[in-house]
Amino acid sequence: MIDLHLHTTASDGEFTPSKVVEIAVDRGMKAISITDHDTVDGLLEAKKRADELNLKLIYGIELSSDWQGKEVHILGYFLDLEDENFKKHLENIKKDRNKRNEKILEKLAKYRIDISMKELEEEAGGEIVSRTHIANLMMNKGYVYSRAEIFRRYLGSSGIAYVPKGNVTPMDAVRMLKDNGAIVSIAHPKFITESIEKLEGLIRDLKEVGLDAIETYYSTFSLKEVIAYKKIATKYDLLLTGGSDYHGSNKGRIEIGDGNVPYEVYEELFKLKNK
């Protein structure tokens, strides 16, 4: 088994990159990718530990984007970490994120939920500060009891403190990754839209700018869903990717390996990368 969708403290995961690698080895993974939101900051640390433990590690990332008011996440694999242009893009994305976080905190303050940027940065600890960290603080300070409720009432797309990111489209994200030389997959398609027609429309547009794969295996997909996404992959000549979307306790009850991703997925991606 492999797991190509994992988060660390570099974004909103609970554990450090080294620790995530160690857990992956304990859980019998043969290859993994670390795919933190909008940052490559954890990758070198992960690589060092993976080499020590003889685990195959793909440099990955999960870029956030907006599409018709919906969030679309784009995964990139086999990243070139030396690419200066790509680094500049990530720097800009981080700045936009910080501006957005300030706006979210301003909205929360109107509802007497007081969190400062300084507290938030401390809670995040790593390179990327996200709504996950805001939710953690809201729970720690006793404002709201559960994460699900926080996203439903406050931070989620229908919540009263929602602020869209709004400046990167899925097409931009795919282009950014293709320019880097990465292999690109569309993450957890089920959460973009339940409409297969709409999804296929998006996939056709993304194919034009270089989409390579679709995340077919995922911790919370049913077998029926896996089969449906395999069908789409065949129809649009896309490779398969998959993973758990592990965040430790920062997201549900998901363990590393929960995507049940077969090793062949790694081999196929590797083949494409080295073509």
Footprint on this chain of ligand AMP (rule: CB under 6 A): 12, 37, 64, 130-132, 147-148, 151, 156, 247, 251
**13, burial (CB in 10 Å: exposed 0-12, middle 13-18, buried 19+):** buried
Q: Would residue 185 be called left, alpha or beta, if left means φ above 0 and alpha means ψ between -120 and 50 degrees?
A: beta
First-to-last CA distance in the chain? 24
Q: Of ligand AMP, Mn ion, none, which one sits near residue 136, judging by CB under 5 to 8 A according to partner kind?
A: none
Record the tokens describing residue 24, joined without a space.
């992956």
Judged by CB under 5 A, does residue 245 bind Mn ion? yes
**Shorter beta-carbon distance to ligand AMP: residue 51 or 255:** 255
Scanning 85-93, 101-109, 134-142, 244-252 for contacts with Mn ion by CB under 5 A, the matching segment is 244-252
Q: Of Mn ion, ligand AMP, none, which one sits near residue 156, judging by CB under 5 to 8 A according to partner kind?
A: ligand AMP
CB of 213 to ligand AMP, least distance (A): 20
CB of 43 to ligand AMP, least distance (A): 18
Residues facing residue 217 across a β-bridge: 242
Residue 102 has a CB neighbour count (10 Å cut-off) of 13
CB of 101 to ligand AMP, least distance (A): 7
Q: Of Mn ion, ligand AMP, none, which one sits near residue 16, judging by CB under 5 to 8 A according to partner kind?
A: none
Judged by CB under 5 A, does residue 38 bind Mn ion? no
**Shorter beta-carbon distance to ligand AMP: residue 132 or 244:** 132
Query: Using CB atoms, what's the residue nearest to Mn ion?
Result: 73
Scanning 71-79, 100-108, 143-151, 222-230 for contacts with Mn ion by CB under 5 A, the matching segment is 71-79
**Residue of 66, 74, 85 whose CA lies nearest to 35:** 74
Record the tokens describing residue 145, joined without a space.
């009891």
CB of 117 to ligand AMP, least distance (A): 14
**Shorter beta-carbon distance to ligand AMP: residue 14 or 200:** 14
Interatomic CA distance for residues 212 and 174, integer angstroms:
10
CB of 266 to ligand AMP, least distance (A): 24
The H-or-E segment that residue 67 falls in is strand 56-67
Interatomic CA distance for residues 133 and 130, integer angstroms:
6
Residues for the chain: how many in total?
275
The H-or-E segment that residue 59 falls in is strand 56-67
Q: How many CA atoms lie within 13 A of 107 on its CB side?
A: 16
CB of 129 to ligand AMP, least distance (A): 7
Contact positions vs Mn ion (CB under 5 A): 12, 62, 73, 187, 245
